[in-house]
């Protein structure tokens, strides 16, 4: 059991508005998960490159009018007092200037995971399943694969599939959009 002080999303937003989290290079990366401010793992060059590739793939292949692509911006899981910041998120096209996208707005979430793999495929998958996010992908750097979680059922996903080089992943919202896993993990590339 955690001894951390729990805060609501409203408290979190108030703290952001009041400047409680100083900007700048020394700013700690945090996100609100189940009412607790949790540190986020630092992002290394490979992680950054994969997010860039996923962003480019999303913007190039997704019909512009279909959705917005958000990079490392928060989404709201209000019933769990959580505001996670996934690496890539496709959301319905609308104005989010007064509130984060909620599960009903989310079409796809993609996390890139290296040192955070257990957390992203575990606790974060539970969080997104509880929220009802229907399509959640984890780009698993150590195993050079994409893990796809679908069909949320309470605190878990009923379906988990693994895709490797030579295979393609298709988002539920646009099955004609194809992500070749080799785009992220070319067979001849060594880590």
109-149: pLDDT as tens digits: 999 999 999 999 999 999 999 999 999 999 999 999 999 99
Q: What is the CATH number of the domain that holds 88?
A: 3.90.1570.10
Q: Looking at the chain, how many residues does it have?
A: 191
Per-residue confidence (pLDDT) for residue 26, from 0 to 100: 55
Beta strand 36-39 with 30-33: parallel, antiparallel or unpaired? Answer: antiparallel
Q: Phi/psi of residue 121, each to 5°?
A: -85, -10
In a domain, 53, yes or no: yes
CA-based R_g, the chain, Å: 16
DSSP state letters, 68-87: EEEES----BGGGTBB---S
Count how many domains the chain has. Answer: 1
> Does residue 24 fall inside a structural domain?
no
- Cβ atoms within 10 Å, residue 53: 16
Give the model confidence (pLDDT) of 25-46 as tens digits.
Answer: 555 678 888 888 888 888 889 9
Domain-embedded: residue 121: yes
Report how far residue 190's alpha carbon sits from residue 10's, in angstroms, rounded to the nearest whole number.
45
| Helix/strand/coil for 131 | helix
Domain membership of residue 60 (yes or no) is yes
Task: Give residue 138's domain range.
Answer: 41-184
- Inside any domain, residue 6: no
Alpha helices for 76-122 (secondary structure H): 117-121
Position 8 in a domain: no
pLDDT in tens, 63-120: 878 899 999 999 999 888 888 999 999 999 999 999 999 999 999 999 999 999 999 9
Tokens of 116: 């955070």
- 32 phi/psi in degrees, rounded to 5: -90, 120
The C-alpha atoms of residue 143 and residue 146 are separated, in whole angstroms, by 9
Higher per-residue pLDDT: 96 or 21 = 96
Q: Is residue 156 part of a domain?
A: yes
Considering the domain boundaries, does residue 161 fall inside one? yes
The answer to whether 135 touches 108, Cβ cutoff 8 Å, is yes
pLDDT tens-digit series, residues 150-161 = 999 999 999 999
Query: How far from 107 is each of 93, 119, 134, CA to CA, in Å?
Result: 11, 21, 7
Question: E strand or H helix at 111, and its extent?
Answer: strand 106-113
CB atoms within 10 A of CB 121: 18
Q: What six digits make up the tokens of 41?
A: 């793992």
Instruction: Please give the C-alpha separations between residue 38 and each of 28, 94, 114, 177, 185, in angstroms, as whole numbers.
Output: 10, 28, 17, 34, 29
């Amino acid at each position: 059991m955690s001894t951390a002080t729990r805060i609501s999303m409203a408290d979190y937003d108030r703290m952001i508005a009041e400047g409680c989290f100083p900007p700048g290079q020394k700013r700690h990366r945090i996100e609100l998960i189940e009412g607790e401010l949790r540190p986020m793992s630092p992002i290394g060059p490979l992680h950054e490159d994969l997010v860039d590739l996923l962003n480019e793939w999303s913007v190039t292949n997704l019909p512009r009018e279909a959705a917005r692509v958000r990079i490392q911006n928060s989404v709201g899981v209000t019933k769990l007092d959580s505001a996670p910041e996934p690496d890539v998120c496709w959301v319905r096209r609308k104005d989010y200037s007064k509130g984060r996208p909620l599960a009903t707005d989310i079409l796809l979430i993609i996390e890139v995971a290296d040192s955070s793999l257990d957390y992203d495929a575990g606790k974060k998958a539970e969080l997104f399943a509880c929220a009802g996010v229907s399509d959640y992908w984890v780009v698993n750097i150590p195993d050079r694969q994409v893990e796809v979680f679908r069909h949320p059922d309470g605190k878990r996903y009923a379906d988990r599939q693994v895709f490797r080089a030579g295979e393609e992943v298709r988002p539920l919202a646009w099955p004609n959009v194809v992500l070749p896993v080799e785009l992220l993990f070319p067979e001849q590339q060594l880590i």
